[in-house]
Structure 1
Amino acid sequence: MAVVPPVWRVGEFVLSLTAASEATRRAYRSDVGQFAEWAARAGIDAPGDVDRRRLRRYVSFLSVRGLSGRSVARKASALRRYFGWLVRCGAIDVDPALGLAAPAGSGRLPRVLGAAEMCEMLGDGTVPENPSEMRDRLVLELLYGSGLRVAELCGLDRDGVRPHSAHVEVIGKGGKHRRVPLSEPSVALLAAWRDGGSEGFDAQRLRGRAGRDPAALFVNLRGKRLGTRDVQRILDRHAVTPTHPHALRHTYATHLLDGGADLRVVQELLGHERLATTQIYTRVSRERLREVYESAHPRA
């Protein structure tokens, strides 16, 4: 991506997103920067020259390029937030992005892993002796057993996890804290990780490398806090079929509803602000029931 001229104040806008995750800030920087590049090709040199018609044309341009409805909607959301910030800062007088709409998403249901696939991925529940395997298993247990987002998992600190506690405090979207219950295997793995496993990993894999993030509960082979790509590599090593880390969170929610959990409880566990966000999993659960019925009943 080309360097965006200072007049667009993209850096200042990103810094204003204090409650957003690092991933969201990166995405918004990219989204606004891409729009600024497109606008420059159309002869628009500053955000004050953007009008509603131009924004609608840009959204149509994104759709024609073949981007998914979800991606276009996120980019439109970034522009609404950006131009709203410019108005609040007094940089522009009129917000051209008010009510900017984007095509609806495809409605594709999230992938849910089966019980057999999860059992093969997570093993028999015993605590591995190898520190690297212990770290990987604990990461997978927290994603599925507690439904953590990847950013929440990577953001866990050593001091934030209490020994033998049945809960963990995480910082979710918007900087909101929530208390999440831990599965029994997670409790056992966390105890082992704190009681020598983490130090064993550092000695085995980091080989005394200086610069190990002292606060992070999990680090990669460079001693840095575990990141999204690191988590994907862990999953690639253990998953039976190609799987995205977020699929474990989808599976967590769907299995709870399959087991009779109340939708409001699942909403709280996932940290969803709106119940409508959680309700997609009721649809997933119904679809799964239908598949079982059609495959098992002779008159289906």
Structure 2
Amino acid sequence: MVLTPRDVERFEASRSRLGALAYRLLGSASEAEDVVQETFLRWQAADADRIDVPEAWLTKVLTNLCLNQLTSARARRETYVGQWLPEPLLDGDPMLGPADTAEQRESVSYAVLALLERLAPKERAVYVLREAFGYPYREIAGVLGITEAAGQQLFHRAKKHLAEGRVRSEVDAAAARRVVEEFLAAATSGRTEPLVRLLTDDAVAIGDGGGKVPARTKAFEGALAVATFLRGLFKPGKGKRALVGGSPGIWATTANGGPALVAAVDGRIVGVLCLEITADGIAAFRSQANPDKLVRASRRWAAGDHGEPLLHAF
């Protein structure tokens, strides 16, 4: 069917929300964009005049497309080279979606997006619809074709699974910035001890290179192991410069609502390091270096003015 300008306008009014929902469900901005476009094609093929509540219809179509995508993604990720981490989004990206409440901000944090991979597809969908977008169980049941009771059960199960792997951070932005700066100073000191003092005893470091950039296939665990790895990561070397095409500048920024470091060469991001900071120290480092997952962040980065870097690595 040919859409009228009003039909297009009705879809565009939901586009931003649909993109934010798809990103939380899939952990990939590029896949989220594809699913939003497919939802538009379904809208185009439907008889829009017979759809009483476009927002509900679009949400149902998009969510179920994401569920299908998650099912196939699980099989693909079994053959993924190394650790799989979500695609990071920089501060201000509209795909980050609503951030009015603590629950909404946490639902898109890099740590929670990584943990969401542990959930079954429907658990993930219920959690995102409820926690990030505040959908009542009645509407969630309609979207997923389940009962309200089943939706409540899936939500509580999801919350329990996430709580088991989540260390909540209660550190404000100013304190987080200070920790990031202390971390950079310690990481470039060439010594392990200053780094160890900044970390929690059970700190972890996980990297995603997607088989395109060298990254360890298993996480580093424990303060000493993580500190040793990070000291080596920031150690100068010609091979590292050749790998990324130069000496990257390092900036402190915000990704997915949390403290992060961006490494960029000539306006192109070559790595994003997300830090999970708690009152007891830095609990986790999650680094994304797969170039396929840095395209959107690089576009946003190149369009802005970020001043001088805190340092040049390598």
Same fold? TM cut 0.5: no
Larger Rg: 1
Give the alignment's TM-score, normalised by structure 2. 0.30
From the two aligned structures, give the one with the greater strand fraction: 2
Give the alignment's TM-score, normalised by structure 1. 0.31
* Structure having greater relative contact order (Cα 8 Å, sep ≥ 6): 2
